[in-house]
Amino acid sequence: MQMFGDWTIPFIFCDVYIGMDVICSTASIFNLVAISIDRYHAVSEPLKYSQEQQSNDHGRVIRAITFIWVVSILVGLPILLGFNASDEPGASLECKFYDANFIIVSSVASFYIPCCIILVLYYKIMKVRKKCFWSVDFFSSLLTFS
């Protein structure tokens, strides 16, 4: 009895498996983007950010989480709706992506673009931190504590 290789359970579960993988991976990466946006906001406008944190208004966070999951579900929905079908003989024996266009579009939308956004935001964070460091006379502040 072979354990690996062929998909032996009903093929609908393959679509659910792949669809949930796409949805959860997309949500994870989009959450990293949201964290990066939050960090940039905290570094670039610390007083405003601090006031917003103390207000206990969690509406912005709830909207961001809802948006992330809605977009992630929309990205994975084509697979859940059965658009990953193949006409190849023996295709029902393998659980994999069959639509190359979906692979390219979903990879760009749910990985490469968010990755670029994260890189740009962290670059901006580094610029703000560098500017703040050099705007304060660091060495003279060390001397005043003695």
Task: Give residue 89's pLDDT.
Answer: 64
Q: Mutual orientation of helices 46-54 and 12-44 as an angle, nearest 10°?
A: 120
Per-residue pLDDT band at 2 (split at 50, 70, 90) = very low
Q: How far is it, in rounded angstroms, from Cα 33 to Cα 68?
A: 10
Of 19, 34, 42, 40, nearest to 65 by C-alpha is 34
Q: How far is it, in rounded angstroms, from Cα 114 to Cα 119?
A: 9
Q: How far is it, in rounded angstroms, from Cα 32 to Cα 74?
A: 18
Vertex 103 angle, CA 100 and 107, to 5°: 150
Of 71, 72, 50, 52, nearest to 61 by C-alpha is 52
> For residues 124 and 44, is the Cβ–Cβ distance under 8 A?
yes
The pTM assigned to this predicted structure is 0.78
Task: Give residue 32's pLDDT.
Answer: 97
User: What phi and psi values does residue 97 have, to the nearest 5 degrees?
Assistant: -75, 135
> For residues 107 and 21, is the Cβ–Cβ distance under 8 A?
no
Residue 121 has pLDDT above 70, yes or no: yes
Q: Tell me the average pLDDT across 84-88.
A: 71
* Three-state DSSP state, 79: helix
Confirm or reject CATH 3.30.470.20 for domain 12-143, answering yes or no. Answer: no
Per-residue pLDDT band at 144 (split at 50, 70, 90) = low
Domain ranges of the chain: 12-143
Of residues 63 and 143, the one with the higher pLDDT is 63
User: What phi and psi values does residue 7 have, to the nearest 5 degrees?
Assistant: -90, 110
Of residues 25 and 53, the one with the higher pLDDT is 25
Share of the chain above pLDDT 90, in %: 40
Q: Tell me the average pLDDT across 106-123.
A: 94
Share of the chain above pLDDT 70, in %: 81
